[in-house]
Structure 1
């Protein structure tokens, strides 16, 4: 795979794409204001693909880096922006442009295919050599806390089709957006255990970290080896939805080897649905938890429903999970809520219960995929 690190950028309108762009090939181009644009990042097949996907009023452009793609989007004032990443290895992505009420889509060519060993681990993260070339976002600098950050105001956001790895704080971070979709990604080797550079006191939060982002759908992803090894191993999660991140759907994902609870809701993140996921050797207090910090200033969540999930009956540290009758003790179980430190006096304390069952949740002694 290629490594996409060039800072020198030449942007060309794709006149051959057949969508009404007239700038000659190789010329510097400023997009005309439009509803929709697609920017192909280092994709040699862009003209052909753009012809197949073109619609009235849509523009198509090519860039050498994601940073240049964002400059194109800002200049275009487009409402809907799709960034299509060719196969290769990319540095971390930090996206901040958003058209009001539009959608920002960051789309890779596909995530790595992971071979799993008999115990359900990711076979040391080895990729399937027969799989097509993947789009990989890799954090290689100490300052690269997240693989993909989207902070685009009230715009909708989609992140799909890539592998995100070797980041200290998290894989995907979305703040404030509506109708968030994170799907079809492999997010692996996240947290202080996997990043030797930088401040060792800084540890990871989540494979997907939502802050006040409503109506998020996290689906068809694989989360492997999300681990902190410092003061806060329990602070790392697969999906971490905080600060009124309401109506989150976590569906049909695989979670393995995560040092904290694989799904964590915090501070008034209400009405989530966690369905048809598979968990193996993951979790600290629970498979799904609702937690409050900040000296009592944070509020309980409510309305979260668990349905049709299958979870390995051992935590990340190989302790046994207990039946749900023990939810108000310090023993780990399928669901749990509390505040501050994980100890008996802090468990529970929410009325109504933030998390309820809707049937079909099961424990297993062998990996469920």
Structure 2
């Protein structure tokens, strides 16, 4: 199929082929061109994927920030009057997990800023200090029931953990010590704070078992990390067998992440998904997630990459994101982005879609190349200006054109698939 026509708009955008791993990043620039598409299901769009990564050098296709049907008015919340009202009590099941605690209740490990990793961790008086030590305790116990990591309020500095423990039938929940299922922010003393002091990422889930991993995060604050806040890393080379998923991030406050706030070249996303599916990302705040000016466009609120499918990104607040707040990449399909509020976010669009094409970019690192994404939905979101205060289109496809399918990639147009469905997004800038 032919590339859609575009109105020329000469804007340089820095992109990086992060490929889900900061160590493989490279840079490139692309020119931005824009075409309009009505924000309705009838104008469902076909286009190529974009990601924090290499650019084709071709003009992206964009959708204008038009006002569709009235939005739901649901805004992200912590359960307080200042943050709105959530549509679902925190801690309730959304279908991402089917686990139960078992007859003995959860296996609990306690963290405290005054804790000691020489402690046993199984009571508040024996609290440990680090998530790394908490994982050691859980691995040694190998409990056949749900796990709770109960975190006392205060600030935990410089933590960075590669998390590899999971149970396919039980949850592992990271939560404030005084949190109870269904609580809002007013029901706990405060969010425990993880201050990275310039570390790359707080927690990397580094497993790819091809089954659900059931990690859950509630009401934490994550700040001062360079690359990511939380990173769910499956195997990008094994789309069907190498995924993780069924995880949940609820009520977490991500702030001051990226190279504008800590030393380093660039960050990529407050939440980063690589071959991670069926995750519930809801009711979170993404505030001041920014790179310095030369790499500003590389940072995203949620970066959905490499076969990450079926994720739900709902009811979140995105504010001051220097790159596009939602970035989708490489065969990441059937994701729903709905009822979020975007304020001063985005360099190209609020939702952007891209893939790394080795035919035009020599820096692609994935063997066999990457492919477009399909059947994503961007609906009922409130759009309030780009990062620099300008009006942005709701969506943009930064590579290949609206109807282009690269050689070697499945042409799902022939199957009647759509690249993106949009409706009900409302724009107000200023």
Distance 2:133 2:325 in 1: 35
User: Are the equivalent residues in 1 in contact too, given 2:220–2:253 (CA < 8 A)?
Assistant: yes
1:334 aligns with 2:394: yes
Matched, 1:301 2:396: no
Distance 2:177 2:348 in 1: 36
Whether contact under 8 Å (1:281, 1:316) holds in the other structure is yes
Give the conservation status (yes or no) of the 8 Å contact 1:203–1:230: no
Deviation of 1:204 (Å): 0.5
Q: Secondary structure at the match of 2:139?
A: helix
Q: Is the 8 A contact 1:172 1:209 kept in 2?
A: yes
Q: Distance in 1 between matches of 2:333 and 2:401?
A: 20
Assess, with a 3 A threshold, how the Cα gap between structure 1 residues 35 and 354 changes in structure 2: closer, same or farther.
farther
Tell me, in whole angstroms, the C-alpha distance in 2 between the residues paired with 1:353 and 1:291. Answer: 15
Aligned to 1:360: 424
Contact 1:109 1:162 in 2 (8 A): no
Structure 2 vs 1, CA of residues 87 and 363 (structure 1 numbering), >3 Å: closer, same or farther?
A: same
What is the aligned-residue RMSD (CA, Å)?
2.7
The partner residue of 2:336 within 268, 273, 293 is 273
Give the structure-1-normalised TM-score. Answer: 0.69
**If each structure's strand is expressed as a fraction of its own residues, which one has the higher value?**
1
Q: Distance in 1 between matches of 2:404 and 2:292?
A: 29
How far the C-alpha of 1:220 sits from its partner, in A, is: 0.2
Separation in 2 of the partners of 1:109 and 1:266? 37
Q: Distance in 2 between matches of 1:349 and 1:258?
A: 29
Q: TM-score, normalised to structure 2's length?
A: 0.59
Matched, 1:259 2:322: yes
**Runs of 4+ residues over 4 Å off in structure 1:** 59-62, 345-348, 350-353
Question: Is 2:250 aligned against 1:180?
Answer: no
User: Which whole-Å deviations, capped at 9, do the CAs of 1:222-279 have from their partners, x for residues lacking one?
Assistant: 1011111153211100000111110111100000111111011111110000111001
Match of 1:84 among 143, 147, 150: 150
- Tell me the equivalent position of 1:316: 387
Q: Deviations over 1:56-95 (max 9, x none)?
A: xxx9545312222111101011243221111011132414
Aligned residues: 277
Mapped to 1, the partners of 2:122 and 2:192 lie a distance apart of 20
Higher relative contact order (CA 8 A, sep 6+): 2
Structure 1 residue 36: deviation in Å? Answer: 4.7
CA deviation map 1:310-329 (0-9, x unaligned): 101x21122322xxxxxxxx
Shift in CA distance, 237/110, structure 1 to aligned 2, threshold 3 Å: farther
Note the residue ranges of structure 1 that are not aligned, 5 or more in a row.
1-33, 45-58, 112-127, 322-332, 340-344
